[in-house]
Amino acid sequence: GLRAALLYIKEEGIEAIGAREQKLMQLFYEQVKEIPDIRIYGDFSQKDRAAIVSLNLGEEDSGEISDYLSAEYEIDTRSGGHCAPLMHGALGTVDQGAVRFSFSHFNTMEEVQEAVKAMRILAWEG
């Protein structure tokens, strides 16, 4: 398995893989940041960053948002404290946690658009 993964990365090119992940993350970020009551965490002015968007919707519990996305849209995110209690302490999100969207070059533009749509619906229903 490891050999196959390394051969795949060599064939695709690590730069191409990273660029695609960044493109998908940026597409999601640019749209979701316009949704009312969405709070996004992190510095998106940095070029070299992980293809991750962590956010909250108002005061909603991050676990409930994540569970809803999974059950209703088959969108899997990670919620909670992300093994980073000091970070959540600094952000003031210890009790709420955060919803983390992680993008892979295996994701599609359609999946990104579906995630944005789901967050818009959640914000509207809230």
Q: What is the mean pLDDT of residues 113-123?
A: 96
What is residue 51's predicted lDDT score, i.e. its pLDDT? 97
pTM score: 0.90
Q: Residue 126: its pLDDT value, please?
A: 57
Report CA torsion sign: 120, 124, 125, 126.
positive
Mean residue pLDDT across the chain: 93
- Sign of the four-CA dihedral 38, 92, 98, 112: positive
Tell me the pLDDT tens digit for each residue of 18-72: 999 999 999 999 999 999 999 999 999 988 899 999 999 999 999 999 999 999 9
